[in-house]
């Protein structure tokens, strides 16, 4: 006889949704055997939409200066223990060139909210990347900006924007951030990005301080309403020089459960197996792929600055050359039975006729 959780998994796989109480029960009581069933369903769904392909995103962490003071983040403004850096345009373009030769067809420009780069400079950079590599997608992950800035980047050629909502519960958001930041404003930015036409990525940290199962269900509900093209989730990991330096990390298991649940709720979504997942478990990214993820994000930043973009303690891949990261990633992916493809890896929209 099927267990309660097996019935919940079957219903989630069939309808893409569950009532709040069932989602909470699933997350709270899933056994190892049931989890394997959940992951298998998630793999079926991802393979139906994306086959065995795993998309590469080349991450360029171009500045660790940040005007914000998020309590969890190692590059927060008040962390005076880290050495700050910013990459100039020529270096970033060089990272893209090397990435292109290594088969990357998406470049993710990520950084703290660094006011030193003007919109004009960001737009020029996007234009240059697109001119050098017209077959590539440019993803920005540079935080909360004005609508005018988001529009300017889009018009310059940016295709995608990653802005994790972090937590959908506004009072939990206040627990994780200083008073000048608000969850409402972050969610407003996501709406604007969607309306402009970006492929948008939202997401949350798993196991952040004081996060409850209800908060996670709120996150899942928020994602169902926003319908982002990408969902980035990863465990919270403490960074010792932040206010949350002594808090407990999120767990591998909770993150894997959520990846699989998200895959069943969003069959078409682009879902990375994140570096944070690889940091809390040596095979975390492989396990993420086997729980429904279909994207990996190796680092293309110059090795000299890798160790300075320390959002959390123990971050992996801080010493390797880009080529080494790429090789290592391909091998890891192959071992899961999937394979890395040379492709921009755009969102595959639902074919309503086929799925009706």
Nearer to ligand SAM, 73 or 256 (CB): 73
Q: Which of 87, 136, 200, 205 binds ligand SAM (CB under 6 A)?
A: 205
10 Å CB burial of residue 59 (0-12, 13-18, 19+) is: buried
305 binds ligand SAM (CB under 6 A): no
Question: With CB under 6 A as the contact rule, which of the stretches 70-78, 129-137, 175-183, 193-201 interacts with ligand SAM?
Answer: 70-78
Distance CA 295, CA 274 (A): 8
The torsion angles phi and psi of 17, rounded to 5 degrees, stand at: -155, 165
Question: With CB under 6 A as the contact rule, which of the stretches 93-101, 158-166, 221-229, 255-263 interacts with ligand SAM?
Answer: 158-166
Count of residues that interact with ligand SAM, criterion CB under 6 A: 20
Q: Which two tokens stand for residue 33?
A: 């055997």
Distance CA 307, CA 311 (A): 10
Distance CA 66, CA 103 (A): 31
Closest CA to 86 of 59, 57, 58, 117: 117
113 binds ligand SAM (CB under 6 A): yes
Site for ligand SAM in 2-61 (CB under 6 A): none
Distance CA 205, CA 152 (A): 29
Q: Which of 239, 299, 301, 336 binds ligand SAM (CB under 6 A)?
A: 239
Closest CA to 244 of 65, 74, 67: 74
User: In the bound complex, what is the minimum distance in angstroms from residue 144's beta carbon to ligand SAM?
Assistant: 7
Distance CA 247, CA 237 (A): 8
Nearer to ligand SAM, 38 or 280 (CB): 280
Q: Rounded to the nearest 10 degrees, what angle do helices 252-265 and 32-50 cross at?
A: 40
Q: Which of 72, 161, 198, 222 binds ligand SAM (CB under 6 A)?
A: 72
User: In the bound complex, what is the minimum distance in angstroms from residue 237's beta carbon to ligand SAM?
Assistant: 4
How many whole angstroms from its chain centre is CA 72? 16
Q: Which residues pair with 53 in a beta bridge?
A: 339
Q: Please, what is the end-to-end C-alpha distance for the chain in angstroms?
A: 31
Question: With CB under 6 A as the contact rule, which of the stretches 32-40, 105-113, 211-219, 315-323 interacts with ligand SAM?
Answer: 105-113
Q: Which of 73, 92, 317, 330 binds ligand SAM (CB under 6 A)?
A: 73
Nearer to ligand SAM, 234 or 292 (CB): 234
237 binds ligand SAM (CB under 6 A): yes
Map residues 275-294 to x or -, x wherever contact with ligand SAM holds by CB under 6 A.
-x------------------
Q: Which residues pair with 166 in a beta bridge?
A: 204
Distance CA 50, CA 45 (A): 9
Nearer to ligand SAM, 234 or 302 (CB): 234
| Cα–Cα–Cα angle for 317, 323, 324, rounded to 5 degrees | 45
141 binds ligand SAM (CB under 6 A): yes
169 binds ligand SAM (CB under 6 A): no
Site for ligand SAM in 306-335 (CB under 6 A): 311-312
Q: Which of 159, 166, 229, 247 binds ligand SAM (CB under 6 A)?
A: 166
Handedness of CA 157, 270, 113, 305 (dihedral sign): negative
Q: Which of 43, 105, 164, 172 binds ligand SAM (CB under 6 A)?
A: 164
Question: With CB under 6 A as the contact rule, which of the stretches 137-145, 150-158, 253-261, 284-292 interacts with ligand SAM?
Answer: 137-145
- What residue ranges bind ligand SAM (CB under 6 A)? 72-73, 75, 110, 112-113, 141-143, 163-164, 166, 205, 234, 236-237, 239, 276, 311-312
């Amino acid at each position: 006889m099927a267990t309660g959780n097996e019935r919940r998994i079957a219903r989630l796989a069939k309808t893409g949704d569950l009532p709040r109480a069932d989602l909470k029960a699933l997350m709270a009581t899933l056994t190892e055997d049931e989890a394997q069933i959940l992951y298998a369903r998630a793999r079926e769904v991802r393979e139906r939409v994306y086959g065995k392909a795993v998309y590469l995103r080349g991450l360029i962490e171009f500045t660790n200066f940040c005007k914000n003071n998020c309590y969890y983040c190692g590059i927060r403004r008040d962390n005076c223990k880290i050495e700050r850096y910013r990459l100039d345009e020529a270096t970033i373009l060089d990272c893209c060139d090397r990435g292109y030769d290594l088969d990357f067809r998406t470049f993710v420009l990520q950084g703290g909210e660094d006011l030193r780069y003007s919109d004009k400079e960001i737009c020029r950079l996007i234009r240059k990347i697109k001119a050098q590599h017209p077959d590539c997608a440019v993803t920005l992950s540079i935080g909360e900006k004005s609508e005018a800035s988001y529009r300017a980047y889009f018009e310059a050629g940016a295709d995608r924007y990653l802005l994790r909502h972090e937590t959908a519960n506004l009072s939990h958001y206040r627990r994780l951030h200083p008073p000048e930041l608000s969850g409402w404003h972050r969610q407003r930015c996501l709406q604007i990005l969607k309306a402009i036409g970006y492929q948008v990525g939202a997401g949350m940290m798993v196991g952040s301080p004081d996060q409850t199962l209800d908060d996670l269900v709120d996150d899942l509900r928020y994602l169902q309403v926003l319908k982002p093209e990408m969902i980035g989730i990863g465990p919270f990991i403490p960074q010792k020089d932040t206010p949350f330096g002594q808090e407990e990390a999120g767990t591998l298991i909770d993150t894997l459960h959520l990846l699989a649940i998200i895959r069943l709720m969003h069959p078409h979504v682009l879902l990375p197996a994140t570096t944070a997942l690889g940091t809390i478990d040596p095979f975390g990214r492989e396990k993420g792929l086997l729980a429904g993820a279909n994207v990996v994000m190796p680092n293309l930043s110059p090795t000299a600055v890798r160790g300075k973009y320390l959002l959390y303690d123990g971050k992996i891949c801080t010493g390797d050359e880009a080529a080494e990261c790429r090789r290592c990633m391909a091998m890891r992916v192959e071992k899961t039975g999937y394979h890395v493809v040379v492709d921009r890896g755009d969102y595959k929209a639902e074919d309503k006729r086929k799925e009706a």
